[in-house]
């Protein structure tokens, strides 16, 4: 018999937990099974005044809301809180009941400002240590890379920053406008530089010679080889060279895991003497291809393992080949050992 189901719901009570309504394979249910933030309350207690002001958002609930937005791909806090109003999984994951009032989206922004980057860094490090303790990360073989991330700003927000503005303000002669425009568009000078008025921390950068400069950030990551666990991550402006961050990020990853790094892999952007010297001093073997444009079909294009005991330098005649000299570091070594993933 065909019947119509009434859409009016008159229930005043919900028996059981909201967890009963969430599938076991839901991403928030799977994360909640291993997530432990019981230590967080004492970690951030010092930034709150005891017994003064209105009740604050519970620290664990705030972090769980942020984590839910990340796991579900919800970037903006305003949209996250709107989704939490109707999403039972987010409510349950953050510890809010059906009739509990959710915090305003601006509260999450104030919490980030109040806690500061150091405390969020501590949360990250505790998570890495938990992964090491459970055996899903080891920290012995790691992969290093940097990704350029386009800043969420419009092209209309960009303005030209001219470093010679002081000269102009002092009344000195300016070049012909057409000549100045051609000079600016030629990209042969750092004199003209665009900056975003709404996000000045995003610098102009590009990931390829044939692509235009865009306001960007750069994410520097160290990933464990065992299960792909991110051991360390740092975000800088887009114009920062990835090689400048590599050694510092490796040290941070080793400190987080508590284990020395044995082997690191990276792309050709990291293949220069400063990096090789730093890895040698840390007794880390490197699998890094050279920067030359070799034939992809040739063996020379394959990653080359560089170990401290096998490293050699080629220097011009008459120069000091001692470590730390200005010569170019090169290695002529056998193929990569078995078991290492190709780049």
Please list the rounded mean pLDDT of every run of 10 residues in the chain (343 residues).
Answer: 64 72 93 90 88 84 95 93 94 91 93 92 92 92 93 80 54 56 49 75 83 89 94 92 92 94 93 92 92 55 50 49 44 42 44
pLDDT of residue 324: 45
Assigned token pair, 119: 């405390």
Give me the architecture of the 126-150+218-315+322-330 domain, per CATH: 2-Layer Sandwich (3.30)
The 3-state DSSP class for residue 156 equals helix
Instruction: Determine how β-strand 263-265 pairs with β-strand 141-150.
Output: parallel
- pLDDT of res. 312: 45
The pair of structure tokens assigned to 338 is 């078995």
Of 247, 40, 222, 64, the C-alpha closest to 137 is 222
Could you give the angle at which helices 105-115 and 59-71 cross, rounded to 10 degrees?
A: 110
Stated as kind and residue range, the H or E segment containing 28 is helix 27-32
Q: What is the pLDDT of residue 48?
A: 87
Give the start-end residues of each E strand in the chain: 141-150, 158-162, 192-196, 203-205, 214-224, 230-237, 263-265, 285-288, 304-306, 312-313, 329-330
Please, are residues 230 and 223 in contact by the beta-carbon 8 Å criterion?
A: yes
**Domain spans, the chain:** 18-115, 126-150+218-315+322-330
CB-CB contact of 148 with 207 (8 Å) = yes
The torsion angles phi and psi of 235, rounded to 5 degrees, stand at -115, 130
DSSP code at position 198? S
Secondary structure letter of residue 46 according to DSSP: G
pLDDT value of position 176: 56
Alpha helices, H only, 186-288: 243-257, 273-281
């Amino acid at each position: 018999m065909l019947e119509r189901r009434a859409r009016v719901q008159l229930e005043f009570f919900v028996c059981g937990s909201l967890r009963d309504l969430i599938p076991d394979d839901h991403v928030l249910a799977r994360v909640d099974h291993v997530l432990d933030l019981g230590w967080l309350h004492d970690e951030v207690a010092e930034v709150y005044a005891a017994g003064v002001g209105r009740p604050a958002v519970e620290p664990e609930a705030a972090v769980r809301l942020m984590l839910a937005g990340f796991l579900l791909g919800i970037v903006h806090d305003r949209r996250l809180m709107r989704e939490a109003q109707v999403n039972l999984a987010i409510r349950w994951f953050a510890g809010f009941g059906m009739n509990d009032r959710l915090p305003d989206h601006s509260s999450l922004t104030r919490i980030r400002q109040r806690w500061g980057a150091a405390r969020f860094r501590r949360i990250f490090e505790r998570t890495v240590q938990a992964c090491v303790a459970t055996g899903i990360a080891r920290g012995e073989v790691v992969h290093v890379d940097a990704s350029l991330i386009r800043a969420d700003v419009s092209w209309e927000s960009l303005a030209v920053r001219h470093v010679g503005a002081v000269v102009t303000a002092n009344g000195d002669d300016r070049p012909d406008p057409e000549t100045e425009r051609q000079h600016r568009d030629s990209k042969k000078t750092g004199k003209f530089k665009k900056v975003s008025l709404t996000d000045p921390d995003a610098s102009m950068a590009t990931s390829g010679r044939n692509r235009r400069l865009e306001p960007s950030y750069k994410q520097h990551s160290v990933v464990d080889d065992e299960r792909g666990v991110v051991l360390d991550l740092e975000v800088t402006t887009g114009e920062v060279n990835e090689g400048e961050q590599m050694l510092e990020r490796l040290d941070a990853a080793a400190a987080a895991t508590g284990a020395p790094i044995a082997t690191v892999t990276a792309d050709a952007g990291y293949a220069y003497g400063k990096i090789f010297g730093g890895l040698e001093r840390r007794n880390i073997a490197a699998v890094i291809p050279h920067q030359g444009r070799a034939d992809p079909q040739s063996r020379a294009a394959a990653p080359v393992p560089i170990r401290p005991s096998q490293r050699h330098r080629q220097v011009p005649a008459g120069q000091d080949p001692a470590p730390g000299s200005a010569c170019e570091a090169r290695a002529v070594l056998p193929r990569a050992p078995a078991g290492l993933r190709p780049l």
